[in-house]
C-alpha cells in the first residue's frame, strides 16, 4: 500500500537508530524533528519515515477449528455418553463458511473502529541522525 490522503505516510523519532520504541506518527519530517528536539534537546536522536500498511483482517478460516474446539470443550458435559448432541457433526461446510464470513466482518469493523486496521512500517535503513545545535545558558550578570 502506498500513502494517500486517507492514509498518509508518517514520521517518527527515537533516541537511537536501533531503538525498539519510535515515537511520533507526525505528518511531516519537520514535525518529527521538532518533537525529537523537545524530547532530546541536548543529544542526537534519529528520525525515519513510516510507510502505510494495512493489516489482513481475515482472521477466521472457513474450517473454524479453534471456534468449534472451544465450543465443544466448554459444552462437552452437555453431550451424551456416545457423543449425541455434539454439534460438530451437524455443522456443514456452508454453515462454517457463513459463520467465518460473519466473524471476519465483525472483527474488521471492530478493528477499523479502534484503529487496528492499519499500521506503519518504519524504514530504519533510511533513518537520519539529528544533532541538536548546542544552546548557551543565559549569562547571569550578578
For residue 126, tell me if it sits in a domain.
Answer: yes
pLDDT reading at 33 higher than 60: yes
How far is residue 20's CA from residue 15's CA, in Å, rounded to a whole number?
10
**What band does 128 get if pLDDT is binned at 50, 70 and 90?**
very high
How high does pLDDT run on average in the chain?
85
Q: For 72, which DSSP code?
A: H
The answer to whether residue 96 is domain-embedded is: yes
In total, how many domains does the chain have?
Answer: 2
pLDDT at residue 8, as a whole number: 82
> In sequence order, what are the residues at sequence separation of 6 or more whose Cβ sits closer than 8 angstroms to the Cβ of residue 35?
13, 23, 24, 26
Domain that holds residue 73: 65-113
In a domain, 38, yes or no: yes
Q: What is the pLDDT at residue 88?
A: 56
Residue 106: inside a domain: yes
Q: How confident is the model at residue 5 (pLDDT cuts 50, 70, 90)?
A: low
Count of Cβ atoms closer than 10 Å to residue 23 Cβ = 15
Report the relative pairing of strands 45-54 and 118-122 from DSSP bridges.
Answer: antiparallel
In a domain, 138, yes or no: no
Q: Which residue has the higher pLDDT, 17 or 90?
A: 17
CB burial string 64-81: b at 16+ within 10 A, e below: beebeeeeeeeeeeeeee
- Does residue 78 lie within any of the structural domains? yes
Q: Are residues 44 and 17 in the same domain?
A: yes
Single pTM value for the model:
0.58
Are 123 and 108 in a shared domain? no
Banded pLDDT at 138 (limits 50, 70, 90): low
In a domain? residue 139: no
Judgement on whether residues 125 and 108 belong to the same structural domain of the protein? no
Amino acid at each position: 500500500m502506498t500513502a494517500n490522503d486517507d492514509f498518509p505516510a508518517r514520521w517518527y523519532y527515537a533516541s537511537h537508530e536501533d531503538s525498539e520504541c519510535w515515537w511520533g506518527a507526525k505528518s511531516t519530517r519537520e514535525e518529527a524533528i521538532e518533537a525529537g528536539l523537545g524530547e532530546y534537546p541536548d543529544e542526537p536522536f534519529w528520525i525515519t519515515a513510516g510507510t502505510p500498511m494495512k493489516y489482513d483482517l481475515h482472521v477466521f478460516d472457513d474450517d473454524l477449528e479453534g471456534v468449534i474446539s472451544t465450543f465443544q470443550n466448554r459444552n462437552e458435559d452437555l453431550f451424551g455418553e456416545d457423543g449425541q448432541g455434539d454439534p460438530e457433526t451437524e455443522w456443514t461446510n456452508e454453515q462454517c463458511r457463513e459463520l467465518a464470513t460473519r466473524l471476519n466482518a465483525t472483527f474488521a469493523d471492530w478493528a477499523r473502529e479502534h484503529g487496528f486496521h492499519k499500521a506503519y512500517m518504519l524504514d530504519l535503513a533510511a533513518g537520519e541522525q539529528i544533532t541538536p545545535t548546542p544552546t548557551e545558558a543565559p549569562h547571569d550578570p550578578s
